[in-house]
Amino acid sequence: MTRNMTLSGLSIFVLGLFCFFPVSSRPTGVHLRNMDSFIRAVRQVEDSNRDLSPLALLRALRRTAGHDDAMTIHFLGASYNLTDAEVLETAILNASSFSFFDKAIHHIVTDNGEERGVILAPDGTTVALAPLLLGIELGLKAKMEGTPAAGIFPLTLGRTLGLSFLSLQDFTPSHRLGPNGCWDSVDHPKMFKLSRPATLATDAVINGGMDGAILGTDLSNLSGSAQLQALSEILKGYYSFTLHEGQGLDAVTSHISPKRRELSRSILEPLDLHSQVMETLALVWKLERTEWIAMDTGVGKAVKDGLRAFVHKYWDCPQIIPRCQWGAKAYQGTPIPLSLPLKFLYVHHTYEPSSPCLSFPKCSSDMRAMQRFHQEDRRWGDIGYSFVVGSDGYIYEGRGWNHLGTHTRGHNDIGYGVSIIGNYTATLPSRHAMDLLRHRLVQCAVDGGGLASNFTLHGHRQVVNYTSCPGDAFFSEIRSWEHFRE
């Protein structure tokens, strides 16, 4: 019997097994587009073959999704260049989960704005799987071969960023990236729709790219004696976690998804990103035989402007969970447009709920409770806050940047305000949440739009009330922030 005949026979045998035993081998039920569902599907494939290596599984997933483009092959090799054992593993994968994995990983944006190949993470953010898995595969390959993880940035972020900057040169740099979008349901997510026309680098693609860079770098830096985890365990450790009361992200030393912005910055910022993107584009053009594009004298400026927007939006500024994600009700009445500059920016804490929220489901529930209280009990048009800081590491959009509203009963009828979930006169919010407010959210509000010339910190119990503190002097004069933690 020849080698080809043997492999063919094995594949037919495996496919036959799945015909007779579909329940034990094939993921059952309707697959939701969330990370938990994806991890379960991966684990089922792993359980079907205990000798399956995570690197072989990643190659099989890449083959299933058809991601063997020229640059990926340049850094990772072709996924169809498999050993005999890996051919069998691919047959198992294709027989059990081909349709699900193909739809879950293959990234496209449809004509009606639906973004596919993305999943909802437990933290409430949306992640594209393709750049995530490419980063993990490259990190594992580097670890197994004992070589540097060359290609982490080009495969996870560099190529996408560079091509997005160039494809929209006539647009302002801030519109060459994004957008975010909304799921049809956060409890049973099946469809993700973007808020405006897509760029090549949507928020989900950038989130997945940052996660791929983080996990790939971590894996490539493992000590020689470290045992490699299964792919399902790698994903679970990063995306499925529990924050503890009184600590939040303050005490977390491991790498988890709410820290993706600061972690990716620590990994990538030391690089000369402009040179890295330009080198990545040069490689793309070489592999695709389109080197003539490099003759465009505007390429360097487009990359420079685009990177400035990327750094500000995805590193300087915090992740914002949109209203649709936390389940906001519609504004009652007609929203009042924002008119810049404002005279004051009001900074609150929430008296109720008094305990900081430590997860996306809890923070979302708190946001809905506050909106109900403001709309139904106080008869305001919407939730009182423009943005709210959770101790889960994220900012929750209230009325957003563009609309004014009431913040405190009998005061500030047309103000603009941000708040921390948690009463700092009772149960204290995490230091991470306060740092988001002090160093990131207000900075982005002011630097991004010239939002306000003065700031007021206003507690419901009037514990602290600073008025007319211009700009940075606001924070430098607040000595009581440390007292709030005592």
pLDDT single digits (tens) 192-241? 999 999 999 999 999 999 999 999 999 999 987 778 899 999 999 999 99
**What angle in degrees, to the nearest 10, is found between the helix axes of 129-145 and 84-105?**
150
Through-space distance between the first and last CA atoms of the chain, rounded to whole angstroms: 77
387-389 and 395-397 beta bridge pairing: antiparallel
- Residue 314 per-residue DSSP state: I
Residue 266: pLDDT over 90: yes
How many helices, marked H, and strands, marked E, lie in the chain? 20, 15
Confidence at residue 25, expressed as pLDDT on a 0 to 100 scale: 39
Confidence at residue 52, expressed as pLDDT on a 0 to 100 scale: 82
| Mean pLDDT computed over every residue of the chain | 80
Q: Which percentage of the chain shows pLDDT scores above 70?
A: 76
Confidence at residue 470, expressed as pLDDT on a 0 to 100 scale: 30
Confidence at residue 99, expressed as pLDDT on a 0 to 100 scale: 72
Residue found by looking up tokens 């995530």 in the block = 132
By three-state DSSP, how is residue 184 classified?
coil
- With beta carbons less than 8 A apart as the criterion, state whether 234 and 227 touch: no
31 vs 392, which has greater pLDDT?
392
- pLDDT, tens digit, for every residue of 98-113? 677 888 899 999 999 9
Residue 147: pLDDT over 50: yes
2 to 14, 88, 302, 432: CA distances (angstroms) = 19, 16, 56, 63
- With beta carbons less than 8 A apart as the criterion, state whether 440 and 318 touch: yes
345-349 and 455-458 beta bridge pairing: parallel
Residue 49: pLDDT over 50: yes
What is the Cα–Cα distance from 40 to 18, expressed in whole angstroms?
18
Query: Cα-atom radius of gyration of the chain, to the nearest Å?
Result: 24
Angle, vertex CA 66, rays to CA 64 and CA 71, nearest 5: 130
Least confident residue range of 208-212, 236-240, 243-247, 370-374: 243-247
Show the tokens assigned to 315: 């590193």
- Residue 294 per-residue DSSP state: G
| pLDDT class of 454 with cuts at 50, 70, 90 | very low
What are the residue ranges spanned by the domains of the chain? 35-316, 342-479
pTM: 0.85
Residue found by looking up tokens 């305001």 in the block = 380
Confidence at residue 295, expressed as pLDDT on a 0 to 100 scale: 67
| pLDDT class of 304 with cuts at 50, 70, 90 | very high
Which residues are bridge partners to 127 per DSSP?
Answer: 119
Residue 157: pLDDT over 80: yes
User: Which one of 44-53, 108-117, 169-178, 330-339 scores highest in mean pLDDT?
Assistant: 108-117
Confidence at residue 123, expressed as pLDDT on a 0 to 100 scale: 96
| Domain 342-479 CATH class label | alpha beta
> Taking residues 118-140, what's their average pLDDT?
97
